[in-house]
C-alpha cells in the first residue's frame, strides 16, 4: 500500500498538473485524478505528467450519477466506456464511490435492488477494461438513522451489495466508517485484499461512536480516537497493495493554501504510517 494524495478530500481545487506537482513535492507516491479531465488532456500528456513527477496515478472518482433520475444515470452510463478506456490506457484500474445509508422513500430491499440494478451494468463496463469498482459504506448512526429506512452501513451489508453488483466490485474502506460501524480488527483481517479497492484515513472527535457526525472529522492521528495503527496494520497483514489517502473534512485544512494543506496532510499520514 502506498500514500496517496486525494486533492478533493482536503479541499484542493487544482488542475491535474498542479495536483501531481503537489503530490511529488510532499512525498505522496500516488494521486487520484479526475478521469474527465484526464480524458480531455489526453492519455499521452497525462502519462508524461505523471512520469515526469514520479507520481503514480492511483484511482479516479466514479463518474456515473446513479443516485438521481434515469436521464442522469443514462447520460453517465453513455460516457462511461470512453472514460474507462482512458483509465485503462493510463493503468488506473481503481474507481470508487460512496453509498447513501438511508432513504425516506425506499425500503432496504428496494434500495438494494435499485443500487444493484444500476451499478451492475457500470461494473460490467469497468470489467471490460480490467477496472475494479469500490463501494464505501457510511457508518455513523446519526446519518443512517436520520431517515425512515436505513440502508447498507456496515462491512457485512456492503459485502452483500458488492456480491450483487459483480466480481470486480469491492470496498472503499474508510477508518471513520469502520470505527462508527463498531467494527474490529478481525473484520479487517477477514477481508480478501483483492476486494479492497481504496482506503481512506481520518480521525474522529472525542465523542461516543453513535454520536459521531459524518462530515465532522480530523486528520489521522489528531485525536487518537480511531486506532489508525491497528486499522492500517491489519490491511498490511492481509496484503493490501493499493492507495491510502486522507479524507478529513477539516475546515481548518480548507482555510490553508494548497501547499500548506498538502504539507499538513502528508505529515499526519507519515506519522500514523510510522506506527504500523
Average pLDDT over residues 119-130: 98
Q: What is the pLDDT of residues 78-111, one digit of tens each?
A: 999 999 999 999 999 999 999 999 999 999 999 9
Q: Write the DSSP symbol of residue 209.
A: G
Report the alpha-carbon distance of residue 93 to residue 90 in Å, rounded: 8
pTM of the model: 0.97
Which residue(s) pair with 143 in the sheet? none
Query: Sorting pLDDT into bands at 50, 70 and 90, what band is 233?
Result: very high
Average pLDDT over residues 156-182: 98
As given in the structure block, the three cell numbers for residue 176 are 471513520
Average pLDDT over residues 251-259: 93
The per-residue pLDDT for 18 is 98
pLDDT over 70 percentage in the chain: 100
Which is higher by pLDDT, 246 or 250? 246
Q: Find, among 72, 82, 38, the residue nearest to 58 by Cα.
A: 38
Query: Sorting pLDDT into bands at 50, 70 and 90, what band is 36?
Result: very high
Site of grid cell 466508517 = 177
Average pLDDT over residues 107-117: 98
The per-residue pLDDT for 147 is 98
Q: What is the pLDDT of residues 39-62, one digit of tens each?
A: 999 999 999 999 999 999 999 999
Average pLDDT over residues 225-229: 96
With contact defined as beta carbons under 8 Å apart, do 175 and 196 qualify?
no
Is the predicted pLDDT of residue 67 greater than 90, yes or no?
yes
With contact defined as beta carbons under 8 Å apart, do 260 and 250 qualify?
no
> What rounded mean pLDDT belongs to the chain?
97
Is the predicted pLDDT of residue 254 greater than 90, yes or no?
no
Q: What share of the chain is helix, strand, coil (3-state, %, to 5)?
A: 50, 15, 35
Amino acid at each position: 500500500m502506498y500514500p496517496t494524495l486525494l486533492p478533493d478530500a482536503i479541499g484542493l481545487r487544482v488542475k491535474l498538473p498542479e495536483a501531481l506537482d503537489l503530490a511529488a513535492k510532499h512525498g505522496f507516491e500516488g494521486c487520484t485524478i479526475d478521469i474527465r479531465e484526464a480524458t480531455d488532456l489526453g492519455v499521452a500528456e497525462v502519462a508524461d505528467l505523471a512520469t515526469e513527477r514520479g507520481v503514480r496515478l492511483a484511482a479516479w472518482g466514479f463518474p456515473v450519477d446513479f443516485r438521481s433520475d434515469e436521464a442522469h444515470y443514462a447520460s453517465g452510463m453513455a460516457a462511461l466506456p470512453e472514460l474507462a478506456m482512458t483509465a485503462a490506457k493510463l493503468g488506473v484500474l481503481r474507481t470508487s464511490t460512496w453509498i447513501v445509508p438511508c432513504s425516506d422513500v425506499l425500503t432496504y430491499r428496494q434500495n438494494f435492488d435499485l443500487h444493484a440494478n444500476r451499478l451492475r451494468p457500470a461494473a460490467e463496463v469497468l470489467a471490460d477494461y480490467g477496472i475494479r469498482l469500490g463501494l464505501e459504506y457510511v457508518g455513523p448512526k446519526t446519518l443512517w438513522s436520520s431517515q425512515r429506512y436505513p440502508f447498507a452501513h456496515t462491512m457485512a451489508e456492503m459485502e452483500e451489495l458488492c456480491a450483487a453488483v459483480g466480481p470486480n466490485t469491492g470496498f472503499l474502506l474508510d477508518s471513520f466508517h469502520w470505527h462508527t460501524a463498531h467494527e474490529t480488527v478481525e473484520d479487517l483481517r477477514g477481508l480478501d485484499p483483492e476486494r479492497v479497492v481504496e482506503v481512506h484515513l481520518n480521525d474522529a472527535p472525542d465523542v461516543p461512536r453513535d454520536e459521531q457526525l459524518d462530515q465532522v472529522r480530523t486528520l489521522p492521528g489528531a485525536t487518537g480516537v480511531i486506532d489508525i495503527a491497528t486499522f492500517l496494520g491489519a490491511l498490511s497483514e492481509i496484503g493490501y497493495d493499493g492507495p491510502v489517502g486522507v479524507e478529513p473534512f477539516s475546515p481548518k485544512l480548507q482555510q490553508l493554501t494548497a501547499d500548506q494543506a498538502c504539507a499538513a496532510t502528508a505529515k499526519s499520514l507519515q506519522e500514523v504510517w510510522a506506527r504500523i
